[in-house]
Structure formats: C-alpha cells, structure tokens
Amino acid sequence: MRVYEIPPKSTITIRIMRREIYYEMEAYIAGVRGTKVYLKLLRYKGQIINFDSKNVQMTVFYVDRGVEPLAWTGVTIKRETLGNTKYHVLICNKSSARVNRRGARRVNVTQPGLVGLKGRDTRMEITIVNVSLSGLSFMSDEDIADSDFVPVFLGFDTEDGISVQATAGIMRRIPSDDGKFHFGAAIPKPSENWVRYVNKIYKENPEG
C-alpha cells in the first residue's frame, strides 16, 4: 500500500527520531492530491513544526481495519499552502510494510534491576525482559500482592555507567510454572534518563 492510498479523514501516527530525541504524534489527513498527502498543520506547544531539520528520521504508521499496522519509512514532510489554507504535506515513495506494533515499540533485553514498593524499606531483585518508552516487563522470584496498578520504583545501572530510575504502575501479573512472577508495568511519566536508555536500546535494535 502507498501512503497516498490511505483514505482521507484517517488518523496516522508519525514517529520522529533525532539523535536521542524520540517523539510520536497523531496527524489527521485532510485530503490527498496525486502522491501528496495533506495533513492538518502539526503543532508542538502551539508552534507549527518544522520538519526540515537535519538528521531527522521519520516513520508513519496507519492501522488498516484493525489488523497489524502498516509502516512507511523514507518520509518527507513539507509545508504547503493550498488556496487560503496551510498544510503539512507528507510524501513517501516507498510501499508499506506490516509491523507488530504496540502503543510504543518494545525491545527484549536482559537487565538486572531493583524494584521498591511505596511504604516498604526493602527492595526486590528483578530481571527486566523488555522495555519501551512507556513501560516494561520484568521477572521476579517474589510476588507483589494486590499488584494491579501498584506504583513501583525501579532502578538500575547500565554497563556504560548510566543510572536509570523510573516510577511505574503494575498493570499485569502472570505467575510462571517455575515459581517466578512476570509483571507488566506502565511508565506514565518517563524520566529523562529512562528515555535516554530506551532510545539507546532502540538505536542498537532498529528492528526490535
């Protein structure tokens, strides 16, 4: 599928990466002319976004009738005025590829860490098994009682000496046959060093 074949009035997601900065936003397709996809102007903190910066990588995602999302790389976005209306214009000459995508891309890791619970003095050892900008999954020998939406405080040091901390809410608990417990947690407000750590993992695993 070509990006200009996405139906008008659809919503797409644009992922922008520049060095260690990672950002995603939704965009509304106002119309299509030939190979040009006209988007309602995209803004950040009230300012119209300029996509002409160097070293910016962009990927477009579109969910087609609830199946696995379609993705396009090699995207360019320019500003254009049509009549009296200004638009961002999306152009991509590549065909789409289907991707297994969650709300944020997850990458498998094996990272030891510590988790502390609010109101407890002790911390439990864990192994982080996958990460994303908005969450993680981890394994533990210990259970966390009444775990739904429990806030946990996560910390670990990476091999290159970065100290990473995050506050997460446990959303899923799955006991394993080997006696361990598998937890899924969301990070609603990622810290700066968490974002830096995950973006480094993304860069090392572009197809992760």
CA distance 41 to 180: 49
CATH of domain 107-204: 2.40.10.220
CATH fold group of domain 3-98: Pnp Oxidase; Chain A (2.30.110)
Q: pLDDT tens string for the chain (208 positions)? A: 899 999 999 999 887 776 545 567 789 999 999 999 999 998 877 889 888 877 778 888 887 655 567 888 889 999 999 989 999 999 998 888 765 545 567 889 999 999 987 777 778 899 999 998 888 899 999 888 655 456 788 888 888 777 898 888 887 788 888 888 988 887 877 888 888 888 888 888 876 4
Exposure string (b/e) for 50-81, b if CB count within 10 Å is 16 or more? ebeeeebebbbbbeeeeeebbbbeebebebee
CA distance 69 to 93: 18
Residue extent(s) of CATH 2.30.110.10 domains in the chain: 3-98
Instruction: Show the 3-state SS of the chain.
Output: CEHHHCCCCCEEEEEEEECCEEEEEEEEEEEEECCEEEEECCEECCEECCCCCCCCEEEEEECCCCCCCEEECCCEEEEEEECCEEEEEEECCCECEECCCCCCCCEEEEEEEEEEECCCCCEEEEEEEEEECCEEEEEECCCCCCCCCCEEEEEEECCCCCEEEEEEEEEEEEECCCCCEEEEEECCCCCHHHHHHHHHHHHHCCCC
Residue extent(s) of CATH 2.40.10.220 domains in the chain: 107-204
> Rounded to two decimals, what is the model's pTM?
0.50
pLDDT at position 146? 56
Residue 110 near residue 129 (C-beta atoms within 8 A): yes
pLDDT in tens, 171-189: 778 888 888 898 888 787 7
